[in-house]
Amino acid sequence: MRIPLTLLLLAVQPGCHAPLTPAMNPPPTVLHPAEMVGFLVTCDAARCREFFVDRLGFDLDGEDDMALVFVGDGRMLRVQKMKSHEPRPYTVLGWNVADIDSAVARLERAGVRFEHFGFPGQDASGIMTFTDGARIAWFKDPDGNVLSLAQLP
């Protein structure tokens, strides 16, 4: 069952947790107008494809011997195909969301399981609340890459 997942991606001003507004009009980066692309690694293209297409609602934009290319909410994610991969123990890709509770609920309905690290402040659904008010939940793709949702104050 395919459940489209629309995660609200917010630009965040460096050094601050507040979303940018048009009135702030930050100066462009040296790379402007280039778009950032996310990269991950997989050892099992079929499981990766199922996760990103069927669970997260991305579109498969292309695939060759080297990589899978997904597009979700107008953003590209390129997943390199490798024979071996040692997942990092930290977040490698994340989304800022306006309402983490509803985003977690949508992902759970799509079959995504959230990680429970036993951190103080992490609730039963896996959402951790930090002292500054930020709320973060972590989940993994089939290759063990740590992904996250963040609702920033």
What are the residue boundaries of the structural domains of the chain, listed by start?
38-151
In CATH terms, the fold of domain 38-151 is 2,3-Dihydroxybiphenyl 1,2-Dioxygenase; domain 1 (3.10.180)
Higher pLDDT among residues 27 and 101, named by residue: 101
Residue with tokens 């997943």: 79
Mean pLDDT of the chain: 87
How many other C-beta atoms can be found within 10 angstroms of the C-beta atom of residue 95? 19
Q: In this model, does residue 18 exceed pLDDT 60?
A: no
Q: What's the pTM? A: 0.81
Could you give the CA distance from residue 108 to residue 3 in angstroms, rounded to a whole number?
Answer: 11
Backbone φ, ψ for residue 46 (5° rounding): -65, -45
Q: What is the pLDDT of residue 5?
A: 35
Which neighbouring-strand residues pair with 67? 80
